[in-house]
Structure 1
């Protein structure tokens, strides 16, 4: 999978004023990405969320991958059937 340089310029800047001592504790900023490979038909959805501020907040990341059923085992004839796997986790923002 290739990400073109033009797409990288579309990524957002971090919006939480993390170094400002008056930054509210409930501040939230998130980044949501969808990557798709048309050849393999694999889709990856990744979400990264910053909550609060460094030292007291937390970071949540979520990832889902959607693949044709049986993708790992053999070639799939019916591409209309899909399987989705995912995870989510919270990490202290230290």
Structure 2
């Protein structure tokens, strides 16, 4: 049975293994390690958001979502900025 997820490329290990984190309701629920070359070329970077299809723990299909990637990265940066501000206020 094929399942579809939204996944974020969390990191690339040794330049060849992409660690994809599966998300549901803004929560990380699982991860899948795949060869980075199985992903679309434009998605082969940390922070890329993809819609993926998985069957039996194997990647079947991956579609890069550039607009979601940009929105996600902006959201992460805003959170980091807020945390940085809160930390600097404690000094």
Smaller-chain TM-score bracket: under 0.3
Quick check: which has more Rg, 1 or 2?
1
TM-score by length of 2: 0.25
TM-score, structure 1 length as denominator? 0.24
Q: Which has the higher helix share?
A: 2
